[in-house]
Amino acid sequence: MNLAERMRQETYDGYTYAYPHKTAYRPLDPAVPLQDAWRAENTSRLFLYVHLPFCEMRCGFCNLFTTIRPGQDRVEATLQAILRQSESVSRAIRPERVAQAAFGGGTPSYLNEDQLSRLFQGLQQHWPVDFASIPVSFETSPGTLTPPKLALLRQLGVDRLSLGVQSFRPEDLADLKRPQPPGEIERACQWIREAGFPVFNIDLIYGNRLQDEKGWEQSLRQALQWQPEELYLYPLYVGKLTNLDRLGRRPGERRRALYRLARQLLLSHGYQQVSMRLFRLPGVQLETDYCCQQDGMVGLGPGARSYTHELHYSSEYAVGQPGVRAIIEDFCRRTPEEYAQADYGFRLDEPEQNLRRLLKTLLRNQPLDFDPGLPQLEELEQLGLAHKDPWRLTAEGLAWSDTIGPWLYSGPVQERMREYELR
């Protein structure tokens, strides 16, 4: 289907969070020793990403790799396995310096204070990193926060605290199946502001079937009261095996109108648009550009992805709880030698590397600094979605990021994604 047709059908094909998508990964046989995978990489500016697959609830829309309300024994076993993996991986790739770190999930703030201290301490022992002097981002949910936990995170070096709010309106949260006791979100925002993080990010989701412009604007204005340095605005997706999917719920028809409303409102409040989803106040210094799609990214924890120029790898992926639990159990049983190799991933040849660079640049609202020789770019220009010299998306192009991104994926990646069987 060409792009104009896809646009006529109003398709939201997918969030190009990273290219290639993880559903294009396959077993690597033979497994690749990490020492070899990282040999040609510059290890002086690594991005360390730690994935903590625990949550207090399974939100209706969520297809992230996570387990729900695991008991302390499971959390402890996973934490210890992550630290064993951390030591093995560091030994294999011989890092020179970690320049950025992020903790995502799931909900990393599901860990208690003692576990958080041990996690940061363990990482500092294994990696050339001083969390106090590099940008560190950390994802949280309102129900897992307390003032002492926030104070500890700040003291451990977290600069960017991200809070999953999704909506300030109870009716949206009910429709999204994101249970949230009254007052919990506002209390968490207050505590975060009091803890003094330089960057406070709020995640919101728009486009549930009940949401109209008035409700969305109310929620956005409530977010703005906290003067967040960043706002991530996610159009609602209902992926396979999610609880909303099981209920047969689809997003509402108004996602595009809601996007336009939000963009206008945030620009009028002085925010700059970094991508279709990310809005940021000017002068925010952090280089966290929390896009997990840099090369030189070392992922730790089950579900984390790692990126070198030529190889992307991770553990396997699942959404359903039995699948997620089996993958985590396998992760916890691994030997130090197994942690030091990649057995599931995707090899990027030169055209795929260029395509990745192109997507990364265009979808982050940046001009292309190389000529990819890609005929599709002309089609973007004809549709008013990009200009030339240098190539850059227009504001309208940015609004269609979720259609343009997947349309540009290579044939082999699209085919693998189609063939992938989700469990």
Ligand X SMILES: C[S@@+](CC[C@H](N)C(=O)[O-])C[C@H]1O[C@@H](n2cnc3c(N)ncnc32)[C@H](O)[C@@H]1O
64-93 mask for ligand SF4 (x: CB under 6 A)?
Answer: x-x---------------------------
User: Which amino acid would we find at residue 266?
Assistant: L
User: Please, which residue, 39 or 240, has the CB nearer to ligand X?
Assistant: 240
ω before 235 within 30° of 0 (cis)? no
Cα separation, 323 vs 65, in Å, equals 10
**CB contact at 8 A, 300 and 89:** yes
Partner whose binding site includes residue 237, from ligand SF4, ligand X, none (CB under 5 to 8 Å by kind): ligand X
Partner whose binding site includes residue 420, from ligand SF4, ligand X, none (CB under 5 to 8 Å by kind): none
| Candidate ranges 21-29, 61-69, 244-252, 261-269; the one touching ligand SF4 (CB under 6 A) | 61-69
* DSSP state letters, 299-366: EESTT-EEE-SSEEEES----SHHHHHHHHHHHHH--HHHHTEEEEEEE--HHHHHHHHHHHHHTTT-
**Minimal distance in Å, beta carbon 67 to ligand X?**
12
| Candidate ranges 34-42, 60-68, 169-177, 318-326; the one touching ligand SF4 (CB under 6 A) | 60-68
Other C-beta atoms within 10 Å of 121: how many?
Answer: 12
**CB contact at 8 A, 328 and 67:** yes
Which H helix or E strand runs over 78? helix 72-93
Partner whose binding site includes residue 135, from ligand SF4, ligand X, none (CB under 5 to 8 Å by kind): none
Cα separation, 43 vs 70, in Å, equals 35
User: Please, which residue, 62 or 393, has the CB nearer to ligand SF4?
Assistant: 62
Instruction: Quote the tokens at residue 159.
Output: 């600069």
| Candidate ranges 31-39, 58-66, 233-241, 371-379; the one touching ligand SF4 (CB under 6 A) | 58-66
Going by C-alpha positions, the residue among 18, 33, 15, 20 that lies closest to residue 349 is 20
| Binding residues vs ligand X (CB under 6 A) | 55, 61-62, 64, 104-105, 107, 139, 141, 164, 166, 203, 205, 234, 236-237, 239
User: Cα dist. 272→266, 284, 288, 314 in Å?
Assistant: 8, 10, 16, 33
Tell me: does residue 59 bind ligand SF4 (CB under 6 A): yes
The values of phi and psi at residue 38, to 5°, are: -100, 0
**Minimal distance in Å, beta carbon 108 to ligand X?**
8
Tell me: does residue 405 bind ligand SF4 (CB under 6 A): no
Q: Are strands 311-314 and 305-307 parallel, antiparallel or unpaired?
A: antiparallel
User: Tokens 């099981």 sit at which residue?
Assistant: 246
The residue within the footprint of ligand SF4, chosen from 20, 70, 95, 106 (CB under 6 A), is: 106
Cα separation, 124 vs 44, in Å, equals 16
Tell me: does residue 164 bind ligand SF4 (CB under 6 A): yes
Residues 6+ apart with CB under 8 A from 155: none
Partner whose binding site includes residue 67, from ligand SF4, ligand X, none (CB under 5 to 8 Å by kind): none
Tell me: does residue 105 bind ligand SF4 (CB under 6 A): yes
Query: How many chain residues bind ligand SF4 (CB under 6 A)?
Result: 11
29-48 mask for ligand SF4 (x: CB under 6 A)?
Answer: --------------------
Partner whose binding site includes residue 344, from ligand X, ligand SF4, none (CB under 5 to 8 Å by kind): none
What is the radius of gyration, based on Cα positions, of the chain?
21
**Minimal distance in Å, beta carbon 238 to ligand X?**
7
The residue within the footprint of ligand SF4, chosen from 21, 51, 58, 177 (CB under 6 A), is: 58
**CB contact at 8 A, 217 and 168:** no
Binding stretches for ligand SF4 (CB under 6 A): 55, 58-59, 62, 64, 66, 105-107, 141, 164
